[in-house]
């Protein structure tokens, strides 16, 4: 199948999946989509009983058809191997009358590992297929070309990307995170990262400020020319704006469904509801992609924290980022500009690029946009929503432990709170996507459970382990004695210069 990718905002540029992954963001600022999504269906019955790696080969083979079967096999084997704590990769576990899908068993203890262990493998196989900006492979790109992967993080993406790309030949990675707005464990995960090609920098501002600046850097033609001409470097992204970061997440929806069938909770064809804590909309958009590929998805529920811009949009049809920004105990969801919402709007509007362009222009110029009422009704038939404030998050952590003897992190707690509040559809199983290890937030979790939270985060880890009978992942507990390598803190407007400087050293 000759699948091509183009921007959500125009169809002037047509790329292969290799080119779209390499480029990251479309030239007009849009996100890459394929109009072939859904043209090929996956029979979930053929996946039941198979290991996660086989499911990944099947799903990715449909979504990224210009990668050969042997290439995908190499990527999957490298991404989903012994670095995972559980051989099932994303095991499904009972949670009272519901289920929880553990996505945090990877090397950085966050769901981002599912995609960011395989994205570097994709990237390494894209060098010969880079676009010249008009949808054609450029003969100016050679095997000597280097890629600087540029990422803004609200907490978890940064470390997962650093771990995935560290010491990858021909590739550098630069991560920006909002100073003072990630957990101490998240910060240490990034600032202690090893690797000769990694760069980490805090910025004064919030995640939206950093993400917006990164998008501007991608659109800076003068900077791109300088990097290309002076050091043969091009920029790409590890955020979920990159289609290569998004599509691996589709696999775990199929995995959850297959595991439900295996344990006799459903029969093939029965619908399943997924509750997804999300800020940038990528984690739940992957569920929409799975539905388009034939997975029997009954409903996708967006769980937000106090920064509930998605809740307001899904209930009113108006997206407004001009609102107070709250620093919460779920920092990875402290986002007011949800980039992947643009992809959902593209598909739900049947590819109305004029509408998308208009909405994104209004968001840029006025800080808000509004969609037509018929489109909102269509979206609400699939996407439900809700949110939890800080008190409710803490109560959810405590309640989940009391009822189920299962410890959840504050992001997952937003989804758990909704599970307990939402009416249950008759005979439709509900799966909560768990986003991170609770040991990434030991002080918040410990406080919710009534534990002593004095001293360091590592002392809090030890008390949580003793009280719950669980074990802190070694990659987190060992941070106590790791040396910090990166201490830079810069203003937002200094980010382009920082990218230029580190790219020249690549």
Q: Which residues pair with 98 in a beta bridge?
A: 95
Q: CA torsion, points 321, 327, 331, 333, in degrees to nearest 10?
A: -30
Q: Are strands 383-387 and 297-304 parallel, antiparallel or unpaired?
A: parallel
Calculate the average pLDDT of the chain.
94
Q: Is 112 a catalytic site residue?
A: yes
Query: What's the confidence (pLDDT) of residue 143?
Result: 46
The full DSSP string for 336-397 is: SS-TTHHHHHHHHTTS-HHHHHHHHHHHHHHSEEE--HHHHHHHHTTEEEEE--HHHHHHHH
Query: What's the confidence (pLDDT) of residue 130?
Result: 42
Residue pLDDT, tens place only, 258-310:
999 999 999 999 999 999 999 999 999 999 999 999 999 999 999 999 999 99
8 A C-beta contact, residue 101 and residue 286: no
Active-site choice (50, 93, 112, 267): 112
Query: What's the confidence (pLDDT) of residue 3?
Result: 81
- In CATH, the number for domain 92-106+246-450 is 3.40.50.1100
Q: If residue 194 lies in a helix (H) or strand (E), which one and from where to where?
A: none
Q: Which residue has the tokens 């963001």?
A: 25
8 A C-beta contact, residue 274 and residue 103: no
461, two tokens: 């880890």
Query: Among 72, 71, 79, 68, which residue's Cα sits nearest to residue 57?
Result: 72
404, two tokens: 């189920």
Within 13 Å of residue 418, how many CA atoms lie on the same side as its CB?
27
| Residue 129: band (very low, low, confident or very high) from pLDDT cuts 50, 70, 90 | very low
Query: Among 218, 104, 101, 90, which residue's Cα sits nearest to residue 151?
Result: 218
Residue pLDDT, tens place only, 41-66:
999 999 999 999 999 999 999 999 99
What distance in Å separates the CA atoms of residue 417 and residue 329, rounded to the nearest whole number? 15
Residue pLDDT, tens place only, 421-468:
998 888 899 999 999 999 999 999 999 999 999 999 999 999 999 999
């Amino acid at each position: 199948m000759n699948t091509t990718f183009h921007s959500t905002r125009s169809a002037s540029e047509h790329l292969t999946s290799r080119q779209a992954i390499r480029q990251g963001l479309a030239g007009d600022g849009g996100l890459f989509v394929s109009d072939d999504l859904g043209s090929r269906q996956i029979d979930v019955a053929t996946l039941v009983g198979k290991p996660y790696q086989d499911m990944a080969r099947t799903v990715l083979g449909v979504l990224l058809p210009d990668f050969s079967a042997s290439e995908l096999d190499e990527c999957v084997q490298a991404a989903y191997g012994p670095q995972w704590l559980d051989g099932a990769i994303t095991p499904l576990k009972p949670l009272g009358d519901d289920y929880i899908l553990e996505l945090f068993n990877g090397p950085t203890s966050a769901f981002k590992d599912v995609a960011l262990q395989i994205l570097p493998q994709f990237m390494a196989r894209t060098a010969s297929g880079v676009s010249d900006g008009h949808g054609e492979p450029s003969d100016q790109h050679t095997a000597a070309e280097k890629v600087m992967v540029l990422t803004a993080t609200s907490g978890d993406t940064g470390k997962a990307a650093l771990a995935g790309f560290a010491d990858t030949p021909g590739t550098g990675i630069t991560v920006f995170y909002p100073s003072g707005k990630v957990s101490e464990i998240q910060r240490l995960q990034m600032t202690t990262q090893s690797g000769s090609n990694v760069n980490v920098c805090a910025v004064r501002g919030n995640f939206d400020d950093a993400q917006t600046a990164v998008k501007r850097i991608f659109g800076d033609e003068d900077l791109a020319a300088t990097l290309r001409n002076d050091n043969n470097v091009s920029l790409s992204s590890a955020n979920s704006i990159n289609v290569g970061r998004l599509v691996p997440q589709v696999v775990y929806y199929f995995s959850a469904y297959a595991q439900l069938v295996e344990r006799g909770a459903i029969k093939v064809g029965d619908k399943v509801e997924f509750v997804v804590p999300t800020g940038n909309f990528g984690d739940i958009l992957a569920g929409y992609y799975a539905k388009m590929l034939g997975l029997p998805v009954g409903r996708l529920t967006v769980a937000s924290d106090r920064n509930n811009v998605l809740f307001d949009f899904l209930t009113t049809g108006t997206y407004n980022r001009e609102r107070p920004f709250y620093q919460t105990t779920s920092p990875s969801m402290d986002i007011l500009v949800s980039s992947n919402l643009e992809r959902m709007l593209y598909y739900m509007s049947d590819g109305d690029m004029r509408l998308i362009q208009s909405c994104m222009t209004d968001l840029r110029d006025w800080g808000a946009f509004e969609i037509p009422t018929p489109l909102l009704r269509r979206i609400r038939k699939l996407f439900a929503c809700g949110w939890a404030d800080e008190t409710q998050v803490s109560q959810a952590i405590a309640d989940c432990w009391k009822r189920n003897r299962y410890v959840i992190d504050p992001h997952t707690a937003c989804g758990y709170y909704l599970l307990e509040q939402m009416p249950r559809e008759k005979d439709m199983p509900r799966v909560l996507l768990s986003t991170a290890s609770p040991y990434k937030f030991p002080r918040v979790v410990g406080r919710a459970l009534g534990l002593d939270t004095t001293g360091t985060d590592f002392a809090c880890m030890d008390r949580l382990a003793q009280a719950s009978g669980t074990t802190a992942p070694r990659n987190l507990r060992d941070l106590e004695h790791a040396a910090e390598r990166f201490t830079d803190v810069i203003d937002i407007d200094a980010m382009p210069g920082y990218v230029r400087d580190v790219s020249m050293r690549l």
